[in-house]
Chains A and B, each alone.
Chain A
Amino acid sequence: MEEKNAIEVRDLVISYRNLKKTSLKQSLFRLRRQKADNFVAVRGISFSVKEGEILGIIGKNGSGKSTTLNALAGIFSPDSGEIDLKGHSISLLSIGVGFQKEMTGRENIMLSGMLLGFSKEEVKAKEQKIIKFAELGEFIDMPVRTYSSGMYSKLAFSITAILETDIMLIDEVLSVGDQKFKKKSYKKMKKLISDEHRTVVIVSHNISTLQELCDTVMWMHDGEIRRIGEPESVLNEYVDFMENS
């Protein structure tokens, strides 16, 4: 069987120009100097992820992991280079996008779902499943502002977990709520991730999670790929490196 690529990234460069917010006074007086600062977060990386593959990204803080993930999700635009998703739908698994606190849980499911790019009908069709998974009972028709923080994150997690896309991007494996829900959500995550048709990119610091879940691990260091390959060897090398530096 020929395996197709789900994500192809070529020479991706992302820099944070000196885009700091400025006051008008500053920009009037320092028009010239503005262009000097240029922080390159990702320095021309290339990699590809096959359909159904689970790629883990590891690296110390500030190595460009999350920037890469955000670029894949389309939140950042690359300064140069290319990201080709081959027409797959993609979403960054994130919690509570676009919630309106005064609205009920049910309405927020719709709001959040539509924001993630699903149609009204698609969200409607999965609504029951989300409500059931979130275990909120009658609270689903109460305003979200009355929720406890645990209930809030349970609802948010359920929305993102049940409305699934071809490619999922995960910034730190999430587990929320009380012990019981934590187990359940972790299990659900694992199930989502290990679905053989789903392509997943996980950013994490947790070595054991990556070892358990991933097919390939990519180690990023200062915006470049230091190693990419089998989880076992890359992770070992990474641990050695972190302990010795």
Chain B
Amino acid sequence: MIKRFRMDLKKYWRYSIYSARSQLKSEVANSYLNWLWWILEPFCFMLIYAFIFGEVFNAKEPYFPIFIFVGNTMWIFFSKTMNQSVRLVKQNKSIVSKVYLPKYILLVTKVMVNAFKMAVSAMIIVGMLIFYRVPVTWNVLYAIPLAVTLILVCFGLGCYLMHYGVFIEDLTNIVSIVLRLLLYLTGIFWDIMKRLPAPYNMYVCRLNPIAFLISSMRDCVIYGQTPHRKLMLIWFLIGCLISALGIRKIYKNENSYVKVI
């Protein structure tokens, strides 16, 4: 399977990139501000959240706008990938029913699109770090493995959602409810460790990968701390594992998708 995966990836990698690029372009093709939206949209969200939670609810976390922006950026990547993967096969019916391609390539493309947007937001974060004169340490480099882990976990989960999304109509509804629950258990707008009573805060922070990744990201980028390395490695390995299993699942079943949709 590994050999097949490598061959397929090699064959379709460039299609994936090209397709991701054209998806990104199509999204903004007709708007006046065009690609500026990729920056403007997350930036405006950040302003809104910073105002509501910083001024109205009076949050105390230092560098609160960056705190929110980091959380929101990673959350958007996660939730968009999850939501899109459920309907991915159905949405690409015109491709799936006419030509063979490994179906996870569709997911790779979507992940690329979302990762690109995340990268744009990351640049805004760099700008904010400079603007607020945050003392940055070498620990900031942990941002890279954290981002890779996030992408792997999302891809793996996405493979499964994509597979079951073909057969189970209700999955869309379930996913949106679960995402809503997770949104509040992830701590985009607040620090879970401070707001949830012990010992639950610990459980949530370690067992919810997104919460863990977001809080580690904040720690290393904004507060100059070293993230929990062992846990990071564990989640990285879990990410690899579910991605591999997800790809295997898709390889096994992908040719029956077209009979269903």
Binding site for B on A (CB under 8 A): 16-17, 19-25, 27, 70, 73-77, 91-92, 94, 96-103, 107, 110-111, 114-117, 119-120, 143
Contact = CB atoms under 8 A, between A and B. Distances in A.
A23 B170 contact: yes
B169 A21 contact: yes
A116 B259 contact: no
Contacts, number: 94
B99 A27 contact: no
A115 B17 CA distance: 12
Given A103-B26, A119-B14, A75 B168 contact: no
A124 to B, nearest CB: 12
B23 A23 contact: no
Interface in B217-261: 255-256, 258-261
B13 to A, nearest CB: 10
Nearest to A41: B259
Nearest to A114: B15
Interface in B17-41: 18-19, 22-23, 25-26, 29-30
Contacts of A23: 168-170
Contacts of B258: 70, 75-76
Contacts of A70: 258
A230 to B, nearest CB: 32
B199 to A, nearest CB: 33
B95 interface: yes
B100 A100 contact: no
B97 interface: yes
Given A20-B260, A115-B19, 5 more contacts: A24-B174, A76-B255, A99-B94, A114-B14, A120-B14
A97 B261 CA distance: 17
A21 B11 CA distance: 31
B26 A96 contact: no
Q: Which of A23, A74, A77, A120 has the most CB of B within 10 A?
A: A77
List 10 tightest A-B contacts by C-beta distance, closest first: A102-B26, A77-B255, A74-B100, A114-B15, A94-B98, A102-B29, A24-B170, A19-B260, A98-B95, A97-B98
B169 A75 contact: no
Contact of A91 (B19, B99, B166, B260): B99
B94 A100 contact: no
A46 B93 CA distance: 30
Given A19-B256, A114-B18, A119-B14, A92 B99 contact: yes
A110 B18 contact: yes
A27 B259 CA distance: 18
A238 to B, nearest CB: 27
Contacts of B122: none
B134 interface: no
B97 A117 contact: no
A24 B168 contact: yes
B98 A100 contact: no
Contacts of A107: 22
Residue among A21, A74, A115 having the largest count of chain B Cβ atoms under 10 Å: A115
Given A97-B98, A100-B23, A116-B99, A19 B14 contact: no
B101 interface: yes
B18 A111 contact: yes
Nearest to A70: B258
A16 B170 contact: no
Interface string B27-70: 00110000000000000000000000000000000000000000
Contacts of A114: 14-15, 18-19
A100 B109 CA distance: 14
24 contacts: A17-B256, A19-B167, A19-B259, A21-B166, A21-B260, A22-B168, A22-B169, A24-B170, A74-B255, A75-B97, A75-B258, A94-B99, A98-B95, A100-B22, A101-B26, A102-B29, A103-B29, A111-B18, A111-B22, A114-B14, A115-B99, A120-B14, A120-B18, A143-B29
A96 B94 contact: yes
B167 A92 contact: no
Contacts of B168: 21-24, 27
A19 to B, nearest CB: 5
